[in-house]
Amino acid sequence: MIFEQHYLDCLSQASYFIGDPTTGRAVVVDPRRDIAPYLASAQEHSMAIEMVIETHFHADFLSGHLELAEATGADIAYGSKAETEFESLKLDHGHRHSLGQVQLEIRHTPGHTPESISIVVYENADDETPYGVLTGDTLFIGDVGRPDLLSSKGVTSDELASLLYDSLHQQLMTLPDETRVYPAHGAGSSCGKNLSTDTSSTIGEQRVGNYAVAPMSKEDFIAAVTEGQTAPPAYFAFDAMLNRELRPLLDEEAAPPALSLEDVISHQRQGAVVLDTRDPVEFAGGHLVGSVNIGMAGRYAEFAGGVLQPGAPIVLVTEAGMEREAKNRLARIGFDSVVGHLAEPEQAMASAPGEVKRSSRVDVAGLSTAMSDIDDLQLVDIRQPGETEGGIIPGAITIPLTRLNERLSSLDASKPTIVYCAGGFRSSIAASRMALAGFGDISDLLGGYGAWQSAQTTTAAGA
């Protein structure tokens, strides 16, 4: 059997290529939207991709099922509870799909979503112990899929958590301990709260080490998995809907067109967002007025989905040669409206200093001065709830970056404002987004909460 896990670090997302060398037939499970890696695997192993199987309607990325079907002629398949706008096969619980010797068994495992399935993989048709199980977002390494993402869609998180409990104990944890576990996500994903950095495990290891499958009542399980979840990025609902629909295909080879500074400013005046993907230090040194900074070194697409509106025209400012990568990573979450990129940004900005400004960034000493001298200082902590449980800077308002857009109106744009995160990367995103929204006196904290906490510890030790 050919079994490959394709792991995408920037979205903590895993997809799978499974092939039978005796027949040359293969399937891909939960593909990302830029499908070149799967086509390369098929070519390397002289295989034909005959089916794309989705474990559920993903919320955190736009899947590549339509792109793969177009490129290979493969069928698209879901569990039988899924309804799609495009043509798709419906796989019943217990269905076995044969690739030859390799067998795939479908198990319905609702809970994260109502239509979720898991796929039990047998290397040989007569094997009693499975090679592994692809668990989608039902079972993670160290956690389970969160049941609260659809709580506004006519089903409660408690109802989904109840289904999840049954799926785990009646379908997945009944598999032999030796069965390998391959989830759809790893650490950093907002689809769970306690995901491991490991990208595979076994049923036996999860039976021992995963808090969510430890012996407990259904009521205790529901309480355990619904509390303490992070605030998901605002784009999740958009992607979950788009993954059901027909939509334009991605051309991952196409680079966005180069634009002059005059063209960029014209697009900006017509409502486009100028997205500067450089490092926060470079952005702070000089950037186009009104641009939003989301560095590509971090969880670029996820952060963009949290602070930009789906469908808004986007103009990119990138380092040379990164334009196509910046466009494709946005396309992974369905943000396809990139109209171009600023050609030769350093020269363009140098030629028009009136269109350029620097960011205000303060260190811990500057923050302390502001806290004592400015009566109406507005301090904003944009970390996730799990981070702020460990403490905040006194007087701070907590708004997760992933929810900043919808909470901007709760802040006073006329007040002097300092925003901070854990280390200073996300705060540059938030400060630039708030500047675009009209916050006139906005700064972010260098080194974030970590720097402030370190300074407090040093002061206390000195005293």
326-379 pLDDT tens trace: 999 999 999 999 999 999 999 999 999 999 999 999 999 999 999 999 999 999
Average pLDDT, rounded, for the chain? 94
Decide which of 214, 242, 270 is a domain's last residue: 242
Range of the domain at 422: 360-462
pTM of the model: 0.93
Residue 152 pLDDT > 50: no
Rounded-to-integer distance, Cα 342 and Cα 261, Å: 6
Rounded-to-integer distance, Cα 308 and Cα 329, Å: 14
Whether 429 is in a domain gets the answer yes
Residue 422 pLDDT > 90: yes
Residue 463 has a pLDDT of 58
Whether residue 118 sits in one domain with residue 199: yes
Residue 190 pLDDT > 80: no
Residue 229 has a pLDDT of 74
Residue 460 has a pLDDT of 61
Whether residue 92 sits in one domain with residue 66: yes
Decide which of 357, 392, 411 is a domain's last residue: 357
Whether residue 197 sits in one domain with residue 174: yes
Rounded-to-integer distance, Cα 185 and Cα 258, Å: 35
Whether residue 307 sits in one domain with residue 405: no
Counted domains in the chain: 3
For position 425, which CATH number holds? 3.40.250.10
Residue 150 has a pLDDT of 66
Are the C-beta atoms of residues 382 and 400 closer than 8 Å to each other?
yes
Whether residue 238 sits in one domain with residue 124: yes
Whether 250 is in a domain gets the answer no
- pLDDT-based confidence at 189, cuts 50/70/90? confident
Whether residue 166 sits in one domain with residue 48: yes
Could you read off the pLDDT of 222-266 as tens digits, one per residue? Answer: 999 988 777 778 899 999 999 999 999 999 999 999 999 999 999
Whether residue 273 sits in one domain with residue 296: yes
Residue 95 pLDDT > 70: yes
Decide which of 327, 357, 387 is a domain's last residue: 357
